[in-house]
Structure 1
């Protein structure tokens, strides 16, 4: 008698910079979601689909839970709310170097009603094994109904118990997506995210948080893909910083982003970047909609 097929939705929640996107990439074995040491890198809910014989897990990476300051933040928190509604299993992620109160606040906010695995990430930073066990025990005592594990998402350490726990609680169901699907998002979306990731890597302070990327055109030609993208910022001074003296920084950004895009699409790419100023785009519904923050 064959084992029934399982399928369901597993949503990843946590504070900004807890390592949610890094975990999703590690579990999928693919570089799907952009990462950065800076907080609030993830702005969208992004599905990552893991299909294996006998099961399909639809992971959902959500923006870090924050107090909204702009319309953009409110849209991001709506993505979190929508993820709450369809979860079969929840993954709570917590940076082990941060106080327990942080995850207590998030847990109270989410009011999860599904099985939960609480992952204490960045455990490799705690060198004393006795101290690590003490921390894990304290969290297990505080969250007795959750499976608590210490992991390193970046180092791909101690991740082996996560999938079995998820499968234990997934319902019997046929696959939701074709088996070759990696995500519900388009190539254009991921290209815009890869450009935005390089902005996070190359620019300090406020620039990444004021920047959005819009793919204006994407042409698949015989020998290469031709992509034209706008980088949106809120002030003229930010445009000057992004372009750099004699266009040096925008050129560097283009080179680094092109390399990442070529790795992702598996083809040669010609990338053209344009910087545009849109004051208050983060608080303007029309712009937010145009830039994909629905």
Structure 2
């Protein structure tokens, strides 16, 4: 056992929580707010999250590892099926589930669909989280709390705002209260266990999602082919990445007139990557067409979406 685990009291708690919900209910923003830094990309586009990303919350008495999952939905592609499968497998592996429902939108079929799936995970407590309370009136929040309480018998219902920070400590306490006694699972300085290459690829994809047409986000995938310090220099990191789309017409959209859009994506991504890594970055970003990759098992594997 590593040394960092031996310095903690016997009543220390550590374990895993996951956030689930339909697409675009604020799961990634909520995880980032609890962790205190950006470990998951966010976008106004639905189904931005494609991986189960872990963010680590450190407290004197506990360590909470939050797993942010893709939005749960009825899939229309092989990629969608694999993302839903990822969510279902995550539900069986955590100590507590946070079911996210936005305060400013009525309960819908998607929320009821997820509630049915959660009912099958009988041994894991579910805390309902009413998100985006900064976008709702007090009356809306009260109505939503009542509506959520009628969906199922949740262990707790907590209204929060990731933007303002309201009730975040209350939510963290509710999740931590349901973790087992355990030494910490990660060393104190770690905020995520995601490889840097994956985080970099996600930041590039986030930059690419801004301002593109509605049908494009699901067609964009990013792979970092090579990343490392430039030879003879310790102040510059070279990153070579490919952005994959499904059709030539989509490639033209991402490139933009005279390459302006791709240049803008590269600039914004590079700024985010430099903030993440604390180093100057040279980013070589290119676009490839991988025809219908969301429906092709071989291409899904090549792009990192495994069975």
- TM-score between the two structures when normalised by the length of structure 1: 0.94
**C-alpha separation between the residues in 2 aligned to 1:157 and 1:257?**
29
Alignment partner of 2:263 out of 233, 251, 254 = 251
Q: Does 2:34 match 1:36?
A: no
Q: Which residue of 2 aligns with 1:88?
A: 95
Q: Which residue of 1 aligns with 2:287?
A: 275
Q: Does 2:213 match 1:204?
A: yes
Q: Does 2:12 match 1:5?
A: yes
User: What is the CA-CA distance between 1:286 and the residue it aligns to?
Assistant: 1.7
Q: Which residue of 2 aligns with 1:136?
A: 145
**C-alpha separation between the residues in 2 aligned to 1:106 and 1:275?**
36
User: What is the CA-CA distance between 1:179 and the residue it aligns to?
Assistant: 2.5
**C-alpha separation between the residues in 1 aligned to 2:251 and 2:144?**
45
Q: 1:98 to 1:70 in 2, by over 3 A?
A: same
Q: Which residue of 2 aligns with 1:234?
A: 246
Aligned 8 A contact 2:104 2:140 in 1: no
Give the total of aligned pairs: 293
Aligned 8 A contact 2:115 2:151 in 1: no
Aligned 8 A contact 2:131 2:160 in 1: yes
User: What is the CA-CA distance between 1:160 and the residue it aligns to?
Assistant: 2.0
Q: Does 2:186 match 1:177?
A: yes
Which consecutive segments of 4 or more residues in structure 1 shift more than 3 A?
Answer: 141-145
SS at match of 2:51: coil
Alignment partner of 2:29 out of 4, 22, 27 = 22
> After superposition, what is the alpha-carbon deviation per residue over 1:75-121, rounded to whole angstroms, capped at 9, x for unaligned?
11121012111111110000123332442221112323222211111
Q: Which residue of 1 aligns with 2:135?
A: 125
Q: Indicate the larger mover: 176-185 or 188-197.
A: 176-185
Q: 1:81 to 1:139 in 2, by over 3 A?
A: closer
User: What is the CA-CA distance between 1:175 and the residue it aligns to?
Assistant: 1.8
> After superposition, what is the alpha-carbon deviation per residue over 1:254-278, rounded to whole angstroms, capped at 9, x for unaligned?
1111111111111100001111111
Q: Which residue of 2 aligns with 1:103?
A: 111
Q: Which residue of 1 aligns with 2:4?
A: none
**C-alpha separation between the residues in 1 aligned to 2:130 and 2:257?**
43
**C-alpha separation between the residues in 1 aligned to 2:140 and 2:299?**
49
Aligned 8 A contact 2:24 2:71 in 1: yes
Give structure 1 stretches of 5+ with no counterpart.
none
